[in-house]
Structures are given as C-alpha cells and as structure tokens.
Amino acid sequence: MISEKRVLEILQETGVLQKGHFLLSSGLHSDSYLQCALVFQYPRYAEELCRALAAKLAQLRPDLCVGPALGGVIIAYETARALSVRGLFTERDQEGKMTLRRGFNIKPQERVLVLEDVVTTGGSVREVINVVQEWGGEVCGVGALVDRSNGKVDFGVPFHALIRLDVNSYEPQACPLCQNGIPVVKPGSRK
C-alpha cells in the first residue's frame, strides 16, 4: 500500500502542486493548483499511483473504469489496466454536455468505478455518474489521486483518494487574491 508521504513526494517531484492565483473548473478561485497532467507524463508514476488506487478499490469489484476527459482519461485507463477491466472516458459534446462517444458503451447493471485526477467540488464526477446511470450502469465507487474537497463531497458511494490535501478555495466575490489585485490564471482544460 502506498503512503500519503510517497504520493506527496511524487506530486512534488513532478511539479504537480503549483502556487499562484487560479480559476478552477468549478468556478472557485484558489492559491494552489494541482496539474496532475505533469505526473502522468511519467508512465512509471502513473502506473505506481494507479496500481495503488486499484488496490484500494478492488474490493468494489468493478466491471469497468470511466473518467472524464481530460483529467480522468489516464487515471481511468491505468486503474482499469491494474484491475484487468475495461477503461473508457466521457467527454463533452458540442453543447458542453458530458457524454459517451467514440463507440463506448456501458451495459445495464455493469459495475462502474468513476476515476478523476483531482476532486474539488465533485462536479465532473457527478456528471460522469449521471452518464453511467443514463446507460443503466451501477456506480460502485469513486477514486481520485487527490481529494482537495476538504471533506465536503459525498457521491453516495465509497470514495477513496490516495491523498487528501487541504487547499484554500474561494468564491470569486470573496477571493482575497482578487482583492489584492493578483491576476487570475485559468490552467484547466475546461473553457
């Protein structure tokens, strides 16, 4: 089993944890940003982290893993590989709705594990859960590399993260960084 200390070492070594003034996909502002794409450029770390996550989630007996594009693609694939199940991803259509495309499908009653790189508000995970349920799948659990929700998310199924980080997040109108005139950066993949 991987320790939180080891996870933090990997995140720090690969430059995942960044400091500044960021606009998150959730619409919140933060003084920290977790750019997990940086860790996923190293296959050995992707494998190590996702194998550890798979070990935590194996007892849920998923039939497949699914993650939202873009951040959840590699984690869903690598975790699926470690569990020897299918791995697929959801993506947004032209109207911005999360959906399955590219011929992917979920069979009725398939047990689905939803994976994400970082969970802040859980919005993307909830969108994927909705897609799974629309297809008739059963969400058996949620996994993430990092839980930065400060204990505020509940998906109604078991949720496991390799590490929990307490990171400041602010509503835009109450953001002290904005009040100090620090320019905001939008580093995520969502427009």
The pLDDT value recorded for residue 24 is 86
* Angle (CA) 49 52 57, round 5°: 125
CA atoms within a 13 Å half-sphere pointing along the CA-CB vector of 19: 1
11 within 8 A of 35, measured Cβ to Cβ: no
Rounded CA separation 31/21 (Å): 5
So what's the pLDDT on residue 189? 59
Q: What does the domain layout of the chain look like in residue ranges?
A: 4-179
Q: How many CB atoms lie within 10 A of CB 23?
A: 17
Report d(CA 105, CA 66) in Å as an integer.
11
Distance CA 40, CA 135 (A): 29
- Quick one: which of 1, 16, 14, 15 has its CA closest to 146? 16
Q: Which residue has the tokens 């990171």?
A: 167
Walk along the chain (191 residues) and give the pLDDT tens digit of each residue.
899 999 999 999 999 999 999 998 878 899 998 899 999 999 999 999 999 999 999 999 999 999 999 889 999 999 999 999 999 999 999 999 999 999 999 999 999 999 999 998 899 999 999 999 999 999 999 999 999 988 889 999 999 999 999 888 899 999 999 999 999 999 865 55
Residues 115 and 143 sit within 8 Å (Cβ to Cβ): yes
CATH code that applies to domain 4-179 = 3.40.50.2020
Residue at token pair 């069979």:
107
Let me know: does 120 contact 149? Beta carbons within 8 Å: yes
Helix (H) or strand (E) run with residue 37 in it: helix 37-40
Q: pTM, whole model, 2 decimals?
A: 0.89
Cβ(21)–Cβ(184) below 8 Å:
yes
pLDDT of residue 190: 58
Candidates 118, 114, 113; CA nearest to 145 is 118
Looking up tokens 């940086």 gives 38
Query: Any idea of the CA torsion for 61, 62, 68, 74, to the nearest 10 degrees?
Result: 80
